[in-house]
């Protein structure tokens, strides 16, 4: 098990590596390739993130919620959550989903909100989903996914399915109704779920100290009657180990738990946000020094497992793959107009068919209707 390491910032967290990347606890028994894989996955996510920001700055996609700095939480979690388990998420877990099975093509299609997007362009950018890997659609409303995950976990229990529901949210969400009712219901129901609070220090511009008076987010668990763990979120080994433990505990009927991953959002809240307006640059500088990528590279290097050339080659390949996919997505056909009124209900009811037909008449006159956009039968 990882050590609890008291640090100058006063937080106690479980970790395997110190900030320099030196092991401070006995590493899990795994071959070098497992550790190398953690590293290349983090680099892959960083490539994706940087590309998406570039697209946003060029006006090619509308919005990005950057995961820069969070790669260790995402990679550690992605490797801990089995493919049959569920990932209920908020804004920044797309990277974990990508590693768990969300295809890159769907990821980028969603960023473009184009006609390849499985959500049919209904959501704004950066709101991913992937049914195949149990990664449900989520809303921009903070904390609402928490009781969903709990209800779904209860359903798994009732139906006798041995799956565990991991429910991700940020530090700000701990103040929401959903956090309270979700934690409370899960504990009362002994639901097979794990709450993962990705404490990245900031809810847009509101720092943790303005979010809660608790000593940590993890300790909130105690009041609900479940264990709470605070883990170094920039240490992928620690994230993986803690989450795996809690998932298997839940699977075994041990009930829910809260896992706080301490990390740092290195970018603004989103591509529309300028964090220099509200953040002390010294704090950013401090966390730049704790960037999980160089930290883990140092760990690998010390072990003699780092092949910088291979890593660079891999990164080039990643960028080529991503760019190729970007170009595919940019060639997507226009969104079918009918999708305006579809999926509101299982069937398109009469009033929506009428509304659409009224609109379609105009679209047709303006030459905006494409093949397949025809009127509904009434």
Give contact residues for another protein (rule: CB under 8 A).
Answer: 51, 54, 56-60, 62-63, 86, 117-120, 122-123, 127, 129, 131, 136-137, 139, 141, 144, 146-156, 158-159, 165, 177-178, 180-182, 184-185, 188, 268, 270-274, 323, 330-331, 339, 342-346, 349-351
DSSP assignments along 61-74, one per residue: SS-----TT-HHHH
Nearest CA-CA partner of 127 in 44, 169, 65: 65
| Shortest distance (Å) from residue 48 CB to another protein | 13
Decide: 144 and 89 in contact? Cβ < 8 Å: no
33: buried, middle or exposed (CB in 10 Å: 19+, 13-18, 0-12)?
Answer: exposed
In this complex, which beta carbon is closest to another protein, that of residue 26 or of residue 320?
A: 320
Do the Cβ atoms of 233 and 70 come closer than 8 Å? yes
Residue matched to tokens 């940590």: 216
d(CA 163, CA 242): 17
CA 216 to centroid of chain Cα atoms? 21
Contact status, residue 115 vs residue 336, Cβ threshold 8 Å: yes
Shortest distance (Å) from residue 149 CB to another protein: 6
Kindly compute the dihedral angle of the four CA atoms of residues 9, 13, 19, 23, in this order, to the nearest 10 degrees: 150
Stretch (H or E) spanning 169: strand 165-170
Q: Which residues contact 59 (CB under 8 A, 6 or more apart)?
A: none
Residues 6+ apart with CB under 8 A from 340: 356, 359
SS3 state at 31? coil
Which CB, 21 or 65, lies closer to another protein?
Answer: 65
Work out how close the CB of 299 gets to another protein at its nearest, in angstroms, rounded to a whole number. Answer: 30
Considering the complex, state which of residue 70 and residue 167 has its C-beta at the smaller distance from another protein: 167
Q: How far is the CB of 63 from another protein (least distance, A)?
A: 7
Smallest distance, another protein to C-beta of residue 207, A: 19
Closer residue to another protein (CB): 137 or 245: 137
The least distance separating another protein from the CB of residue 291, rounded to whole angstroms, comes to 20
Q: Which helix (H) or strand (E) holds 168?
A: strand 165-170
- Of 49 and 235, the one with the shorter C-beta distance to another protein is 49
CB nearer to another protein: pick between 12 and 124: 124
**Least CB distance to another protein at residue 239 (A):** 24
Smaller CB separation from another protein, 88 or 264: 88
Closest distance between another protein and the C-beta of residue 375, in Å? Answer: 12
Shorter beta-carbon distance to another protein: residue 285 or 347: 347
Kindly state the greatest CA–CA separation across the chain.
71
């Amino acid at each position: 098990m990882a050590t609890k390491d008291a640090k100058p910032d006063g937080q106690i967290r479980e970790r395997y590596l110190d900030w320099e990347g030196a092991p401070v606890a006995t590493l899990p028994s795994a071959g070098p390739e497992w550790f190398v894989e953690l590293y290349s996955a983090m680099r892959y996510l960083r490539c994706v993130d940087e590309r998406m920001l570039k697209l946003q700055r060029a006006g090619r996609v509308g919005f990005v919620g950057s995961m820069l700095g969070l790669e260790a939480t995402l990679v550690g979690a992605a490797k801990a959550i089995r493919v049959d388990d569920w990932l209920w998420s908020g804004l920044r877990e797309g990277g974990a989903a990508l590693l768990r099975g969300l295809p890159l093509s769907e990821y980028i299609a969603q960023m473009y909100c184009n006609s390849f997007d499985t959500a049919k362009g209904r959501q704004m950018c950066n709101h991913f989903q992937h049914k195949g890997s149990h990664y449900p659609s989520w809303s921009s409303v903070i904390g609402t996914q928490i009781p969903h995950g709990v209800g779904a976990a209860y359903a798994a229990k009732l139906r006798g399915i041995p799956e565990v529901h991991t429910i991700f949210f940020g530090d700000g969400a701990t103040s929401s109704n959903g956090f309270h009712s979700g934690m409370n219901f899960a504990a009362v129901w002994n639901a097979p779920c794990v709450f993962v609070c990705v404490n990245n220090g900031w809810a847009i511009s509101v720092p943790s100290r303005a979010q809660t008076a608790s000593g940590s987010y993890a300790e909130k668990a105690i009041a609900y009657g479940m264990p709470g763990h605070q883990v170094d979120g920039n240490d992928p080994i620690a994230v993986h180990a803690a989450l795996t433990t809690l998932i298997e505990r839940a699977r075994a009927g041990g009930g829910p738990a809260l896992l706080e991953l301490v990390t740092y959002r290195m970018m603004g809240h989103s591509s529309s946000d300028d964090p220099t307006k509200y953040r002390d640059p010294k704090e950013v500088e401090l966390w730049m020094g704790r960037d999980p990528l160089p930290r883990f590279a140092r760990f690998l290097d010390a072990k003699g497992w780092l092949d910088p050339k291979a890593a660079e080659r891999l990164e080039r390949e990643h960028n080529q793959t991503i760019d190729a996919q970007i170009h595919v997505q940019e060639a997507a056909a226009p969104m079918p107009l009918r999708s305006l009124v579809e999926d509101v209900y299982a069937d398109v009811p009469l009033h929506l068919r009428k509304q659409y037909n009224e609109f379609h008449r105009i679209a047709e006159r303006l030459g905006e209707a494409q093949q397949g956009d025809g009127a509904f039968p009434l």
